[in-house]
Homo-oligomer: A and B are copies of this chain.
C-alpha cells in the first residue's frame, strides 16, 4: 500500500465498487455502466467532473439551497454560471415545476446543460419520492430528445442514508442511464459517508450513457480521459486508503457494521422529527422537508439566520451553518440522540435572545 496506485484506482476496488453500485441500484439491472475511476474523495469527483466537462460560461443547474463548495468549484474555479431553481414547494415537496421551468429556460439559451442532482440533499436532508425522481428523469430525457446535450450528474455523497418509506431508495443515476444518446449520466459517490471514512478520501466517478451497439469502447475512452485528468491533478489517490476500503468491503462484518451506523443516524433523524413536533417551536421556525442524509434545515420566521448562527456559537458554543438569510442547517448526524432536544431548545433560546 506504500507503492503508487494507478491513476485509475486499484482494479480490485474499482470492480468491487461497480458491483456494489449494481447491488444498491436495482434500475441498473441489465444496463451497462463504466468502471468507476477512483478520486480523492467526492469533492475531487466533482472538481474532476468540472475539469473534464465544464467550460467557462457553461450553465450549471442547481437548487437554491446547496452546498457552498459547488460555488467554489463551478463558479470560482471553472468560470461557469450557476443557475438556481427553488427546491421546495409551499407544501414541502420537491418543486418539479420550478425545476422544469429552469431547465426549459436554460435550454433556450444553451445547447449543453449541466444538471447537478444531489439526493440525499445537502443541506436540507431531502430525497425525492419515486414520482418526483421519475419526473426529473423525464424532464431531462425530453430535453435530450429535443436536441439539448445533458450532463446529468448525481452527487450521491449521502447515498443509502434513507430513513423514510416514501423516498426513492436508489440513485437517479440508475434511471438516467441509457435514456438518450444526448444524455450522459455521471455518478459521483464515495466511501466518505457511505462507508463512514471521512478522512480516507476515496471517491468514485462512474459514467452511464446510451450508445448504438456495445458501449465498452465509449466507457473505456471516458475512463482513460478521467484517469488522465487524475494524473494531471494528483497523480493518484492514496493507495493505503484504497486498500483499507477494499479490505473492509470484502470483510464479512462490512454490511453489519454499516447497518449499525445507519441505525444510529436513523434514530437521530427520528428523534429530530419527534422533538420538532412540539408546537412550542412553531412561532420560531418552519421545518423544511427531510427524510435522509446528515442534515435538516429550519426556516426562521423572526430572526436572521447568520445573526443567530453567530449568537449560538458565541453564547452557547453551538455550531450550525446559515444557508442564507432565513435558513439554518442542523447536522443532526453528529448529535447524540439524547442531546437533540437540548440542541433545539438552545436554538429556540437563541431566537428568543435575539427577539428581545
Contact = CB atoms under 8 A, between A and B. Distances in A.
A234 B47 contact: yes
Given A40-B40, A237-B40, A232 B199 contact: no
A48 to B, nearest CB: 9
B200 A240 contact: yes
Contacts of A20: none
A300 to B, nearest CB: 27
Given A231-B69, A232-B73, A233-B77, A238 B200 contact: yes
A233 B233 contact: yes
Given A2-B196, A196-B2, A199-B4, A72 B238 contact: no
Nearest to A198: B4
A311 interface: no
A219 B324 CA distance: 31
Interface in A46-98: 47, 51, 69, 72-73, 76-77
Contacts of A44: 233-235
Nearest to A243: B199
A284 interface: no
A328 B41 CA distance: 36
Interface in A1-49: 1-5, 40-41, 43-44, 47
Interface of A: 1-5, 40-41, 43-44, 47, 51, 69, 72-73, 76-77, 196-201, 228, 231-241, 244
Given A69-B231, A72-B231, A201-B235, 10 more contacts: A40-B234, A43-B234, A47-B233, A47-B234, A73-B233, A76-B232, A198-B239, A200-B240, A233-B233, A241-B241
6 contacts: A2-B200, A43-B231, A201-B235, A233-B233, A238-B240, A241-B241
